[in-house]
Structure formats: C-alpha cells, structure tokens
Chain A
C-alpha cells in the first residue's frame, strides 16, 4: 500500500439521455481522495451525489473526464473489467444492506471471494469470513441468517462483506438510512475504527450529524461540488454512545 492518492476524478461528467431529454447529473467534478481518508459526500436528492457514488464504485462510467483509481485509469474499462475492479478494490455498504436472504452471515461475507480469482478452498473461505466477522463484532453469529439478525448486525455483516477482499476504498451509500440513531452511532463507530486502521472510506449521506463522524465533508449541489472542507468538530462514536447512555439513564 502506498500513502498516495487512491481516487482521482478529473472533470468528470455524467449525462443521461431519456428520450429527448438530457439530464446532466454530474457536470464536471474534480476530486482527490488520499489513502486513509474518511469522506462524507453530502447533498440533497438530485444533487448528483448518487451518480458520483456509482462512478466512484465503478458501477457506472463517466460520459467525459478521467477516473484514476489506485493509479490506474478505469474510465474506459468494459463491463467485465469494471466487475473485476469492484471485486478487488472496492467494498460496498448499502442503505438496505443487500444481504442474500436465507443465507448465513458467513456465506454472505464469502460472496466476493467466490467471484475473485484466488481459488480458495471452502475451508479457507470460511476461515477468512469468520475472521472478518469477528473484526466487526459478530463472533458467534456466523451461522445466523439475515432474518435472525438486527438491522445493526445486518449492516455489520455487509461491512464485513465489503472488507473481505481488502479493498482500496469502502463505499457506503446511506449506511445508516435504515437504522435507529443509537445503531447508527454504533455503525459510525465501526467506520471510525476501520478508518483508524487505515482504511479509506467514502460515505454518502444527507444527515449532517452522520457526516460529522467523517474527517472530510464534500457537499454537492446541481452536479457540482459546492464546498469541500475537513470536519472541525468531529464526533467520536464512543463518546456519543456514552452521552446517549447517560441521557437515557437520567430520563
């Protein structure tokens, strides 16, 4: 791992054509994210943050501009090449978890390994998955199905799945959107721990108090970056949880 730039977007545009209409979702965004950063990408709906997230996640290709991920240009790659990039370099965490139903936590976490080209045996898959599950605090729940887990636990499984291939960057799309405030703070706590370990995280959110757990906030409006600043009064998840516990005891 180098300590340089993980993500470099240069004048990226994305235009959708729906019949006669042209929608300019992203109108020339340039952005650099260094290794070890924790960025919150913010903006109202329609600001282009989801489109930018899809481009960052190699789910979509920019109409114009360059995207360099981990020192290689990915803007011109085809479907299969993008799939391999997603497999090797990106970990996704979604708002609605997107875990496979009726499938154990362990098998959910193994999923990216199955599509990798590493040729691991079932025992190796299992060992890796269990280790990552333990690192997000789910030891002993490896055989539970999503329906047997709480929302917060399901999101931890999803985070474990995102981490299994040691990605260059973890992309989280509204990771706390379906969670209550206490669980949201817990999930932010996990992200902060991961970030302490040096993992690069980009998180889309529209909630100011969730964005405050990141180190850097990027605000978008109308397909452009409105402002980009580091967080001055950063929330610490452990402290916030303690505060929350105290306030519930008092009331």
Chain B
C-alpha cells in the first residue's frame, strides 16, 4: 500500500519533512505498525520513534491513535505533543 509520512517539529529536524513510499505491512496496517516499521530504517528513526518517546499521530490530518488502521494512500504524520496557543 502507498503511504505518505510527514514529520513535524523535533521529529522533522532529525528525520526530514517526510516521504511517500510503498509499504507492505507484516500484519494489520495500523499507524503503530508503521511507526514500528519506520524505526528499523535508520539509527535516527530508531531513536526518534522509539517506544516510550512521546510521539503523537495524525491520519489524513485527523488526530488518531496507533491502533487506527490505515487505508491505501494514507497521509500519516508523526510529531511531538502539540504546544500551540
């Protein structure tokens, strides 16, 4: 399936703005499975997306959680807790 990953704030600084790619999930195609798969890409990904780090996720520009299934063509954003206002 095709996914577009975006990173913001501290994650963008170490991983770049993001990319689009074909992803073949081993199991259910959830946001959490994608996060785990991305951790294996580089040392920087492993650190920035490590379990226990405060990483929030949005799917197709809606706040989501890691159990949410992804559809083909999904835009998945990973970012730290928000600090606006």
- Tell whether A and B belong to one assembly: no
* Chain B residues with a Cβ under 8 A of chain A: none
